[in-house]
Structure 1
């Protein structure tokens, strides 16, 4: 889910624009049909990015695996040193390893 400034930095579009274009393009499709991913998100496949993420206890123990991206760094951004901040029992950690898989991961439906 791409929301807020981080989603805009990554895709170049606001979340409301992505949602609106998604529903406009797929308004005639039934709920059982596969619908295409917005082009702005497809364009992010294969690009290497660095993220600063917020990890809470819920992220590690909950049934869903989600992270809150607090900032998307561009390749031009200087490397940020490791800096942990405590806030209400949560840690803000830097996840800036350039890990490149053989194939981009695809979202699972259902």
Structure 2
């Protein structure tokens, strides 16, 4: 059971780290508007989002296997809420990425 709990906590920690990395890449992309670096930075942010989403999905699946939230041991009661908060943060960050990428794509390239 301890190994199983470690895996859940590790997935939550990893998701948070990937989300932090995505925000960093996205912030850098936003600062380089119009630069040739912007799209690769958006790509790095997208990859970090995908990794965060995969780890959140893994944590949610593992928590579901433990049963309903109201039957979880007291030590685990907070975990579903933390995972839900991470998912909301990820969704907001992904929306920010999409909005920024669409804005970048709408800007004309070069001079005619």
TM-score by shorter chain over 0.5:
no
Higher helix share: 2
Q: Which structure has more RCO (C-alpha within 8 Å, separation ≥ 6)?
A: 2
Task: Provide TM-score, normalisation by structure 1.
Answer: 0.30
Task: Provide TM-score, normalisation by structure 2.
Answer: 0.30
Q: Which has the larger radius of gyration?
A: 2
